[in-house]
Amino acid sequence: KQEVTQIPAALSVPEGENLVLNCSFTDSAIYNLQWFRQDPGKGLTSLLLIQSSQREQTSGRLNASLDKSSGRSTLYIAASQPGDSATYLCAVETSGSRLTFGEGTQLTVNP
Amino acid sequence: GAVVSQHPSWVICKSGTSVKIECRSLDFQATTMFWYRQFPKQSLMLMATSNEGSKATYEQGVEKDKFLINHASLTLSTLTVTSAHPEDSSFYICSANSPGRGTDTQYFGPGTRLTVL
């Protein structure tokens, strides 16, 4: 059974700091890995999707890496802003388009 | 493009009543839709997968007679919580994908907050 773990559970940083969120998964037989953002009481916004054959994806200040063999991914956020405050979820896709989510990292960026 | 809507966005009901939640893909045909449940400060847990025109596949531990899923068309799936109880209070989120779009991305709805009194 696939299990996804995210560390840390919560993170509070001052504005402007670069930060790294971690995600690990137990079964390396994945199709892809996604990072999502969730604001309180809202749905999910897809940030980055990394196919299993890829090593990283970049979008603006976000960079996600994937090491499939070791079952790890990181989300790097550069020059953090208060608007980045949200819960960040990673999810891996396995057979049948099933997504298994981690419990998320709650990020607070203080002005 | 690739917008998924849910209705209602929130609902409050009395214990013992049934509640229907709709999930619609607005600008694409969704061959597969997924229903997730999220309890406070927890992650999303997949409840079931539904394909248009066929019975839903439920995850282990999810009661199919309590959570009725219908995927009658390529743009609409419904989740009915029957005989709701306070422990069913949760945030329900649907997602949809369509392999024909050439992407594995699932597109998520904004969620429905269910509160059972």
Q: How confident is the model at residue B18 (pLDDT cuts 50, 70, 90)?
A: very high
Rounded distance, CA B112 to CA A43, Å?
A: 9
Predicted pLDDT of residue B27: 86
| Highest-pLDDT range among B13-27, B41-55, B94-108 | B13-27
CB-nearest partner of A43 from B93, B97, B105: B93
Predicted pLDDT of residue B54: 83
Mean pLDDT (whole number) for B51-56: 85
Predicted pLDDT of residue B94: 95
Rounded distance, CA A95 to CA A83, Å?
A: 35
Predicted pLDDT of residue B104: 60
Question: Which positions in chain B touch A21 (Cβ < 8 Å)?
Answer: none
Q: How confident is the model at residue A94 (pLDDT cuts 50, 70, 90)?
A: confident
- The values of phi and psi at residue A87, to 5°, are -100, 130
- A8 prior amide bond cis, ω within 30: yes
Read off the pLDDT of residues A19-76 as tens digits, 9 standing for 90 and up: 999 999 999 999 999 999 999 888 899 999 999 999 999 999 999 999 999 999 999 9
Q: Mutate which of B49, B103, B104 to test chain A, going by most A C-beta atoms within 10 A?
A: B104
Average per-residue pLDDT for chain B: 90
Predicted pLDDT of residue B103: 54
Q: Does B110 reach chain A within 8 Å, measured CB to CB?
A: yes
Cβ pair B44, B35 in contact under 8 A: no
User: What percent of chain A is helix, strand and coil (3-state, nearest 5)?
Assistant: 5, 60, 35
What percent of chain B has a predicted confidence (pLDDT) above 90? 69
Cβ pair A38, A45 in contact under 8 A: yes
B75's tokens = 């743009």
Predicted pLDDT of residue B78: 95
Does A85 score more than 70 pLDDT? yes
Predicted pLDDT of residue B100: 58
CB-nearest partner of A97 from B97, B111, B113: B97
CB-nearest partner of A43 from B45, B105, B111: B111
Read off the pLDDT of residues B70-105 as tens digits, 9 standing for 90 and up: 988 889 999 999 999 999 999 999 999 876 555 567
Q: Which long-range contacts (CB under 8 A, 24 or more apart) does B45-48 make?
A: B45/A101, B46/A98, B46/A99, B46/A100, B47/B79
Amino acid at A49: L
Does A88 score more than 60 pLDDT? yes
